[in-house]
Structure 1
Amino acid sequence: MSIIERDALKFAYWVPNVSGGLVISNIEQRTSWTIDYNRKLAQIAEASGFDYALSQIRFTAGYGAEFQHESVSFSHALLESTSTLKVIAAILPGPWNPALAAKQIATINHLTGGRIAVNVVSGWFKGEFHAIGEHWLDHDERYRRSEEFIRALRGIWTEDSFTFRGDFYRFQDYSLKPKPIDPQPEIFQGGSSRAARDMAARVSDWYFTNGNTPAEIGKQVDDIRRKAAENGHKVRVGVNAFAIVRETEEEAKAVLAEIIEKANPDAVNAFGHEVKNAGKASPEGEGNWAKSSFDDLVQYNDGFRSNLIGTPQQVAERVVALKRAGADLILLGFLHFQEEVEYFGRHVIPLVRELEAAEAAQKVAAE
């Protein structure tokens, strides 16, 4: 593998296994939460140069998401429909015990040649936890539980007789067989708070952050990588973005304006109330969504802030700017997933690869 291939930016897309698409808007979205639509989408993404797909976990309806398929089983179905795409299954500590998750993922790992990964979601929606009878923890306690969850997963997957004494989970001489094939399943997590970043710097392979400018992403990357280095750990960074790529910048901006104009204000404000409370619940008050505007919240994870809105050339240049800021992966949402994933793969990813090759050549020439 060449240096360029090894350092190439990765691309992922949000799996629409939840109805309503990726924006809280009444604009037409030619996107479906059904398995047939998603199987075809996964095949399109794989053929278009995408590396990962990220399934979503929700237990209750809300904010335009009336229907939700369960993430692990849905991820397995997508893996069975593809051959190289990796699928990241979202798992929520509380509803999931690490013993169950470890066994599920190990089995899917064997069935799919090691293409399953997990995204450990610490949780932000108090109402959802109450609805399903799960105990709600304070902000930093949720991350402490998630860290124990990840440590338990790794121990179960790698040790023959795993013993663990945590505040949330206990294991005594537990041995899982078969263990996942190497390399071990990658573990992703999200968040922007101090607790989230510190957890990633200790235990996670990948850290997802909400959409933002390259300057703001760079601050998070510098912080988390400095902390990780102090722990003798390495973590890669994924950045959320909502892509609107059209032949002209005017067309792309018009689509964005229509999405926001047709936003469902009641649903956006209700979502904003919940997530801002979650963000402000961190001790420093700087968790995800703490500073998001109404327009930002129309896209669930601040995807508009990454500004991948314009022509293929403009978007490719902005993607590479995020890479320069420290992003290793771009996690993408779209309005019309099948058509736009294919368009992005045909018109944007090749330009990104050209820009990456040109920058790599400049570095070599400068050495």
Structure 2
Amino acid sequence: MSHTTSADAVKFAYWVPNVSGGLVVSTIEQRTDWSLDYNQRLAKAAENAGFEYALSQIRFTAGYGAEYQHESVSFSQALLQATTKLKVLAAILPGPWHPAVVAKQIATIDHITNGRIAINVVSGWFKGEFTAIGEPWLEHDERYRRSEEFIRALKGIWTQDNFTFKGDFYRFHDYTLSPKPVQKPHPEIFQGGSSRAARDMASRVSDWYFTNGNTPANLKAQIDDIREKAAKNGHEVRIGVNAFIIARDTEEEAKAVLDDIIAHAHVEAVNAFGDAVKQAGNASPEGEGNWARSTFEDLVQYNDGFRTNLIGTPQQIAERIVELKAVGVDLVLAGFLHFIEEVEYFGKKVLPLVRELESRRQKAVA
């Protein structure tokens, strides 16, 4: 069943499990698979359930519970072929990718799918991966400086003819891309991060900013900061938050699932992941990067998804989603334990309640 949504209704995206090991670093059973067949079935189920976006992940090497990984851009295209409305965000890593290659690839996919591709620019947190493939590992704020140039170059290529750009990382001389993408002014550009450098970059160049899971109060502080900076730059940025969703008929059942996930945490993998990401998070000059303050339990889900607290009954979760919207969240990026069945449950039980609460709030304001 499909839901018609107004422009300001909160949107939903899901993490594409194109990496093995699911979305939690735990030995608990997960009825989720990284294969193409499973992912195409999931994409159709998510589209039918009312999800508007899917986010494919990029990993070049094994590690932290992810032994196998399908490449994000080519995998995104396969999901787009299996659907008709879903927009797929391909994760892109500056360093291994050059903006000219991305601009060309994405413009082509945009034509093939009539405007259903977007990108998520990942500035990089996994040092071992960069070292393994012979890519230089830049200092924290330099990674964001490179990403910002990367995005400025992409936007220039996608919107201008005879594009010239002289940056510290990228240079273009009188370059014209033809054909340009179908989407105008260009395909949507998402980025992640929680550090000051990430927020500052979003406030200048990104269409969307993904932040790690957090409480509404902490999210509000981040969102207000970004929006205030963006306004000064004459720029608008929308906000997505990461959430691991455990929706069950009773609160007890939902909490039992969370306890079970944490009880079966793959301790060694979680600690190794924690060391890698805290190095990245603490490396931000103010020590406020992603994961800088995450506990062991938080790290069992890659992007602090438990902290958003979308764990409980459909009613509880719908109310919390509307609270997130009230502090400025435009999109919820969801992870699940057993993807297909839980995405379907979410579409049937949770999403209609969210839409009902939204329209009630709208009427109350009107």
TM-score by length of 1: 0.98
How many percent identity over aligned positions?
74
Unaligned runs of 5+ in 1: none
Say whether residues 1:19 and 2:20 are aligned partners.
yes
- Whether 1:107 and 2:108 are equivalent positions in the alignment is yes
One-letter amino acid matched to 1:166: G
> Secondary structure at 1:20's aligned position in 2?
coil
Aligned counterpart, 2:312: 310
2:205 maps to 1:207: no
- In 2, the alpha carbon distance for the partners of 1:38 and 1:243 equals 18
In structure 2, list runs of 5 or more residues that go unmatched: none
Counterpart of 2:223 in structure 1 is 221
Secondary structure at the residue paired with 2:6?
Answer: helix
* Contact 2:110–2:183 (Cα < 8 Å) also in 1: no
Counterpart-to-counterpart distance in 2, 1:267 and 1:352: 35
Cα deviations by residue, 1:229-255 (Å, 9 ceiling, x for unpaired): 000000000000000000000000000
1:363 alignment counterpart: 365
> Partners of 1:339 and 1:180 in 2: how far apart?
35
The question of 1:63 aligning with 2:64 is answered yes
* 1:251 maps to amino acid: E
Give the Cα–Cα distance (whole angstroms) in 2 for the partners of residues 280 and 352 of structure 1.
36
Say whether the 8 Å CA contact 1:88–1:117 is kept in structure 2.
yes
Counterpart Cα distance in 2 of 1:361 and 1:82: 34
Equivalent of 1:264, from 263, 266, 275? 266
The 8 Å contact of residues 201 and 231 in structure 1, kept in 2 or not, is answered as: yes
**Cα displacement string for residues 300-321 of structure 1 (whole angstroms, at most 9, x for unaligned residues):** 0000000000000000001111
Secondary structure of the residue aligned to 1:285 is coil
Letter in 2 for 1:261: A
Deviations 1:163-217 (A, max 9, x none): 0000000000000000001322000000000000000000000000000000000
Deviation readout 1:126-157 (Å, 9 max, x if unpaired): 11100000011000000000000000000000
Instruction: Report the Cα distance in structure 1 between the residues aligned to 2:360 and 2:182, rounded to whole angstroms.
Output: 36
Check the 8 A contact 2:163/2:173 in 1, yes or no: yes
Cross-structure match for 2:298: 296
Counterpart for residue 233 of structure 1: 235
Give the letter for the 1:306 counterpart.
T
Counterpart CA distance in 1 for 2:276 and 2:161 is 42
Q: Distance in 1 between matches of 2:55 and 2:229?
A: 26
Residue pair 2:11, 2:51 contacting (<8 A) in 1 also: yes
Tell me how far apart the structure 1 counterparts of residues 164 and 37 of structure 2 sit (CA, whole Å): 42
Q: How does 1:77-88 map to 2 (within 5 A)?
A: 77-88=78-89
CA contact (8 A) 1:57 1:92 kept: yes
Partner of 1:54: 55
- Alignment check: 8 A CA contact 2:104 2:177 kept: yes
CA contact (8 A) 1:247 1:312 kept: yes
- 1:82-105 Cα offsets, whole Å, 9 max, x none, are 000000000000000000000000
The answer to whether residue 203 in structure 2 is matched with residue 182 in structure 1 is: no
Residue 325 of structure 1 and its aligned partner are, at CA, apart by 1.1
The one-letter amino acid paired with 2:303 is: N
Partners of 2:17 and 2:7 lie apart in 1 by: 29
Paired residues of 1:242 and 1:334 also in contact (CA < 8 A): yes
Q: State the Cα RMSD in Å.
A: 0.8
How much does 1:4 deviate?
Answer: 6.9
Amino acid aligned to 2:326 = R
SS of the residue corresponding to residue 348 of structure 1 reads helix
Paired residue type of 1:277: Q
Q: Which amino acid aligns with 2:57?
A: Q
Report the 3-state secondary structure (helix = DSSP H, G, I; strand = E; otherwise coil) of the residue aligned with 1:156.
Answer: helix
What's the offset of the Cα at 1:80?
A: 0.6
In the other structure, the counterpart of 2:254 is: 252
Dislocated runs of 4+, deviation >3 Å: none
Which of the residues 321, 324, 329 maps onto 1:322? 324
Matches within 5 A, 1:121-160: 121-160=122-161
- Cα pair 1:93 1:146 within 8 Å, conserved: yes
Aligned partners of 2:196, 2:264: CA distance in 1, in Å?
34
In the alignment of these two chains, the number of paired residues is 362
Q: Which amino acid aligns with 1:228?
A: A
| One-letter code aligned to 1:358 | R
Q: Distance in 1 between matches of 2:324 and 2:218?
A: 10
**Which residue of 1 is the match for residue 352 of structure 2?**
350
Question: 2-side partners of 1:158 and 1:4: how far apart?
Answer: 29
Normalising to structure 2: TM-score of the pair?
A: 0.98
Q: Is 1:246–1:312's contact at 8 Å kept on the other side of the alignment?
A: yes
1:17 alignment partner AA? N
